Amino acid sequence: MSSALAILGGRPLRDRPFPRWPVFDERERAQVLDVLESANWGGFPSPNRKAGELSEKFAAFQSARFAVPTTSGTTALEAALKALGIGPGDEVIVPAITFAATAYAPVACLARPVFADVLADNGCIDPSSVRKLITRRTKAIIPVHYGATLADLDALSKISREHSIPIVEDCAHVPGAQWRERGAGAWGALGCFSFQTTKPMTAGEGGMITTDDPELEQRCQSIINCGRRRPGDTFEGPVLGANYRMTEWQCAVLLAQLARLPEQIEKKSRLAARLRAGLDSVRGLRAVARDPRVTREAIYAFIFIVDEAALGVSRNRFVRALRAEGIPAGVGNEPVYRSALFPRQSAPYRAACEMAGAKTDAPIDCPVAENLFEHAMVAIPHECLLGDEREVDDIVAAAEKVARNAAALKNADLKRQEPSS
């Protein structure tokens, strides 16, 4: 094996692929065939048999009373906020490090997203930043459970109680996770999940809303079903809804995915412990630790942190070198207010800010998020933890190799552009 870095002309440490994602087998085939032969493929007007089964099983898995399937994690967030009555002039606090959907959901309600900084330890929303941003307009807080850990639900629940502000958990990354033996998505007023292709439980697209509140469940069901009411629904007031229903095809695939999820969670968590120990032994690297309050660990992206000064080379060069060694590393999510997918010049965002009495171009102060994205954060996709110890050991060995050759990497003339998220 060559000791020279692959990016500098040496031989890559790994030349075989990591496990393929998504994972499927006869369970998905049988479920999809059942839907095909039923001739009941959608959620209206026919009874949505698979959706009902998925709702019941997923709610139980997440320690929630109810679950409502939707077309995506984005529409789950939008419907959840609308069920809470959030609208023009309101503000919703969201973390700086997240995908655009988290910030889009308030805008879809004509409410203004307010960006909180994150914790340097794990990239999750900083409760102290949340406290500073609360105003009379604040109507919800959306913590994002990021990568492989959960936001501090103890601290956030305290803030929620003190200020009577509901929490809507963004659980897109962590289906199956638990905080103090209780499922993610069951701590706030509502929880929202994503089943997009890359997520740890997937049907290509899809989402889920969880709640313990019967009225919120009724409102969510109405919002995602064009404003229709079911026999027996008792909530008051008119609801303007849309077609955000999940198909029976997706529900069928997700039933199979849910059956497999506990085994995958256990395997990924076990290998993540090995990966943490290995990376923590490399100078300049620190894996995000597992919070002891996370009693069941779900992993979407394994995050570790680079100390550029200690490592002796920039995070961006380190990631490029890891990729050249055959490791599919990334840099995580950029601050959402900088994302091309969340243009602050757009008419809907400008309108949401104006209705809240805020300037569209008001400065946003999230220095920790900026530093994590620009200099520190590295992400490894979860499928890398679905193999065996060899996959994990290769990641560690590649990181060690790059760290060992940091000086040569720092001084090299690399022509290609820096890595994106």
Burial of 358 (0-12, 13-18, 19+ CB in 10 A): middle
Burial of 390 (0-12, 13-18, 19+ CB in 10 A): exposed
Q: Mind listing the domains of the chain with CATH numbers?
A: 26-256 (3.40.640.10)
Model pLDDT, residue 3: 77
- The whole-angstrom separation of Cα 194 and Cα 99 is 12
The β-bridge partners of 190 are 168
Pairing between β-strand 138-141 and β-strand 178-179 as defined by DSSP bridges: unpaired
- Mean pLDDT (the chain) is 96
pLDDT digits (tens, 9 = 90+) for 331-347: 999 999 999 999 999 99
pLDDT band at 419, cuts 50/70/90? low
- The whole-angstrom separation of Cα 209 and Cα 76 is 6
Model pLDDT, residue 416: 60
Rounded average pLDDT over 405-415: 92
Query: Does pTM top 0.85 for this prediction?
Result: yes
The size of the chain, in residues, is 421
Rounded average pLDDT over 414-421: 62
Burial of 131 (0-12, 13-18, 19+ CB in 10 A): middle
Of the candidates 297, 270, 261, 266, which has an alpha carbon nearest to the alpha carbon of residue 61? 261
User: Euclidean distance between the first and final Cα of the chain, in Å?
Assistant: 29
Model pLDDT, residue 43: 74
Model pLDDT, residue 244: 97
Model pLDDT, residue 418: 54
Model pLDDT, residue 415: 74
Of the candidates 92, 91, 261, 52, which has an alpha carbon nearest to the alpha carbon of residue 177? 261
Q: Is the pLDDT assigned to residue 216 strictly greater than 80?
A: yes
Residue 249 CB-half CA count within 13 A: 8
Contacts of 128 (CB under 8 A, 6+ apart): none
Per cent of the chain over pLDDT 70 is 97
CA 338 to chain centre: 18
Model pLDDT, residue 235: 96
Model pLDDT, residue 28: 98
